[in-house]
Amino acid sequence: MNDFLIFHWLKEVNHWGKTPEGGISRLAFSQEDKGARKYVIDLMEEYGMEVRIDEAANIIGKYAGTEPDLPAVVIGSHLDSVPSGGKYDGVLGVLSGLEVVRHLAQNNIRGRHSLEVIVFSNEEGCRYPYTLFGSSVMMGDFHKPWEEIKNMQDEQGIKLVQEIKELGGKPEKLFLARRNPEQIKAFLELHIEQGLVLEDKGVSIGIVEGISAPIRFVLKLMGSADHAGATPMVLRRDPLMGASEIMLALERIVKETSVTAVGTVGQINVSPGAVNIIPGTVTLSFDIRDIDLAARNQIVRNLEKVIREVCQTRDLKYDFQEIFNISPVMLDTQMISLIEQVCQEMEIPAIKMISGAAHDAMVMANHVPTGMIFVPSVAGISHNPSEYTRNEDIMKGVEVLGQTVLRLIK
Ligand SMILES: [Zn+2]
């Protein structure tokens, strides 16, 4: 693989959703996402892949093997981005899959096993809150009630079902997108690290051993919205002061419980939100992750205890609701050693590591042997217009992916 078209493709796909700051806003199923999807479908067809759109609007491109009944080797990632995200997250995994297919096609190489490249729909869950939507539907892990799906709409009132239909999916028959895990021999995802570990070690390749997973909550604290001047401190029931205590407690609990755990309050809403009114209601989000499920559960229990105590002391009412919960997963040991072996033979330094961010590979890993290849994010920056991965690192990633695929399809 001496020549690479991936850099050209990357530029082309990233015309879709380009922001003035040089970032990417390509929310799931938006016009920008549709443009990028179309570009990728055209590429798939150009290199001899058979393309189909499943019920969840996942794009599945198949490069047939010589024994089409054998389970397929699958490479997958996503094209959607967060608002004002970067140029590499997701799209790099899709395009590196296509680079591998192009190499096979141009050298007339076919394995016994078919090779598929999948674009999973709505991975980020920003426009419609179903994170990891496409992969979860495909593996039978999506269990939202139809009543909810049917009415799900974005901020402009555009329904999710309408967008899925427009892309050739069948939202009322999502269950038909479910794949039998026995049809998949292995799943591979190449992704940017989105953290600092590879940069810190000066290594181009990370072999993911496990993916840390989030549990998310919304906490609503209710006190009394009173006059900021007329209400003495001792008579206040101020939910924002309570929230502050709880947030600092979260930081302490996470640090005390597990070195691999992280906890974040990323959203906070204060109502009525005026300079001269003590807040009446405060709503805040919690995102807590760890590779160690027992530790993660412990953090949640300790956090709940603090919430109870703070609310009691400050005479606040509260409502603590879980809104998202997936378990951390360890990746397949055989896939890890296969990728390791490839790196050794190619003399590309690699380290084994944990992924702090969730990926489609996390869903896949619960059902099929899954391997994941990380390439460095310069300065660890991601979900940001400055997201950047050096070309030489991308090339090494694609080479490792390609060699791993060659061994799996033969
Ligand atoms: Zn991603």
Quote the pTM value: 0.85
10 Å Cβ neighbour count for 388? Answer: 16
Looking at 325, 358, 376, which one is the last position of a domain?
325
Q: Which residue has the higher pLDDT, 218 or 326?
A: 218
Question: For the residues 255-283, what does the mean pLDDT come to?
Answer: 96
- Distance from the CA of 8 to the center of ligand 1, in angstroms? 20
Residue 213 pLDDT level (bands cut at 50, 70, 90):
confident
Question: For the residues 71-84, what does the mean pLDDT come to?
Answer: 97
The whole-chain average pLDDT of the chain stands at: 96
What pLDDT, on the 0 to 100 scale, is given for residue 146? 96
Residues 191 and 223 in one domain: no
- Distance from the CA of 358 to the center of ligand 1, in angstroms? 8
- Distance from the CA of 60 to the center of ligand 1, in angstroms? 18
Residue 2 pLDDT level (bands cut at 50, 70, 90):
low
pLDDT tens-place string over residues 5-24: 999 999 999 999 999 989 99
What pLDDT, on the 0 to 100 scale, is given for residue 326? 85
Looking at 325, 345, 363, which one is the last position of a domain?
325
Residues 132 and 277 in one domain: no
Please give the tally of structural domains in the chain. Answer: 2
Is residue 348 in a domain? yes
- Distance from the CA of 92 to the center of ligand 1, in angstroms? 9
10 Å Cβ neighbour count for 48? Answer: 16
Residues 308 and 183 in one domain: no
Lowest-pLDDT range of 205-209, 295-299, 321-325:
321-325
Is residue 1 in a domain? no
- Distance from the CA of 281 to the center of ligand 1, in angstroms? 34
What pLDDT, on the 0 to 100 scale, is given for residue 3? 79
Residue 278 pLDDT level (bands cut at 50, 70, 90):
very high
Residues 130 and 63 in one domain: yes
Read off the CATH number of the domain in which 285 is found: 3.30.70.360
- Distance from the CA of 39 to the center of ligand 1, in angstroms? 19
- Distance from the CA of 310 to the center of ligand 1, in angstroms? 37
- Distance from the CA of 156 to the center of ligand 1, in angstroms? 25
On whether the CB atoms of residues 120 and 58 are closer than 8 A, the answer is yes
pLDDT tens-place string over residues 349-378: 999 999 988 899 999 999 999 999 999 999
Is residue 396 in a domain? yes
- Distance from the CA of 78 to the center of ligand 1, in angstroms? 6
Residue 1 pLDDT level (bands cut at 50, 70, 90):
low
Read off the CATH number of the domain in which 396 is found: 3.40.630.10
Range of the domain at 32: 6-212+328-409
Is residue 77 in a domain? yes
pLDDT tens-place string over residues 41-77: 999 999 999 999 999 999 999 999 999 999 999 999 9
What pLDDT, on the 0 to 100 scale, is given for residue 324? 87
- Distance from the CA of 86 to the center of ligand 1, in angstroms? 10
Question: For the residues 260-278, what does the mean pLDDT come to?
Answer: 96
Q: Which two tokens stand for residue 296?
A: 């993660």
Residues 315 and 186 in one domain: no
Of 111, 124, 259, nearest in space to 186 by CA: 111
